[in-house]
A and B are shown apart, each in its own frame.
Chain A
Amino acid sequence: MADHVLDARGLNCPLPILRAKKALKDVPPGEVLEITATDPGAVADFQAFCRTTGNELLESTATGKEFRFRIRHV
């Protein structure tokens, strides 16, 4: 179970990233934000987001039409 969750289902680019960034502000360093999304573009975008910001992408998985990302706030 993640420490913090964000439901980004139904949102299109760039909203999953923008909402995740906003949500991370309330996530203390070391804790994990779990994001659920339906935007297929978010798969590549969360990788790029984490590489650029230095946050750690712990998980990126697809179940049906939903994607789950777990990001450790660094």
Chain B
Amino acid sequence: MSTDAQHNAKRMSLIVTKGTLDWAYPPFVLATTAAAMGLEVSMFFTFYGLTLLRKKLDLGISTLGNPAMEMPLMGMHMKMPNLISALPGVDAMATTMMKNLIRKKGIASIEDLRQAAVESEVKMVACQMTMDLFEFSREDLIDGPTIGGAATYIENATRCEINLFI
């Protein structure tokens, strides 16, 4: 434990349920920042969030059914009608646009934030039920995360000041 962690021994837990490029940001941004601020942080990856623990990340976004998504384009904001979103290749194009914006704006990649979380000793737990459901094996996931279930999460959450579901 670092000296900061002893100074500020608060704890935070996160339940990570979503695995798209955009939704991967809030949990990893908060986890790495909280760890930097001396909190003990744990993340429980379940359902689509579990894919964020795969060795090779291949994250994307979908504009389908996302009316609040407005991509900046030539000084304007572009919305994508569902009819267009459903066409082949549109999600891939939107994902490329988003990744370019992320790079241009000096925003960390999810790969980097995940690595930062690992380095700052964020405890990661992969949901066993989700691994069974979607047929992931331990070898599909990065080294470090332990395997657990709902009771594992709840026990940990009872000791945390902050518990977030994302």
C-alpha spacing A20/B36, complex, angstroms? 9
Give residues 90-146 of B contacting A (CB, 8 Å).
Answer: 105-108, 116, 120
A interface residues, tally (CB under 8 Å): 16
Q: How many A-B residue pairs have CB under 8 A?
A: 43
B interface residues, tally (CB under 8 Å): 15
Query: Does the CB pair B7–A18 fall under 8 Å?
Result: no
Q: Within the complex, what minimum Cβ distance (angstroms) separates A72 from chain B?
A: 14
- Partner of A18 from the list B4, B36, B105, B106 (CB cut-off 8 Å) is B36
- Report A-chain residues with C-beta under 8 Å of the C-beta of B108: 12, 14-15, 18
Query: Does the CB pair B32–A49 fall under 8 Å?
Result: no
A residues bordering B, Cβ < 8 Å? Answer: 10-15, 17-18, 20-21, 39, 48-49, 52-54
Name 5 A/B residue pairs within 8 A (Cβ), A-sorted: A12-B106, A12-B107, A18-B116, A20-B36, A48-B37
